[in-house]
């Protein structure tokens, strides 16, 4: 699931683990301004869930919270 939030581009994913669970992950990208560099932040594994949609919902909530806490 990809979406934009404020000035961020967020990509939420669920990685299917060996134990059958889905692991929530997010990548947050801050677009470059002018000739600046694109900045990205990867969440790493956030939490695991039995179903994929729960993992993606968790990744989305985590990403929005991260954006709100780390950028003005």
40-59 confidence digits (pLDDT tens): 999 999 999 999 999 999 99
> pLDDT over 70 for what percent of the chain?
94
CA 15 to chain centre: 12
Residue 72's pLDDT band, with cuts at 50, 70 and 90, is: low
CA distance 30 to 42: 12
CA distance 52 to 24: 8
Asked if 46 contacts 14 with a C-beta cutoff of 8 angstroms, the reply is no
CA 49 to chain centre: 16
């Amino acid at each position: 699931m990809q979406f934009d939030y404020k000035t961020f581009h967020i990509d939420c994913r669920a990685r299917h683990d060996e134990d059958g669970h889905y692991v929530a992950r997010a990548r947050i990208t801050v677009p470059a301004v002018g000739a600046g560099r694109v900045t990205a932040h990867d969440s790493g594994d956030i939490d695991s869930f039995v179903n994929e949609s729960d993992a993606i919902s968790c990744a989305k909530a985590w990403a929005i919270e991260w954006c709100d806490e780390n950028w003005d």
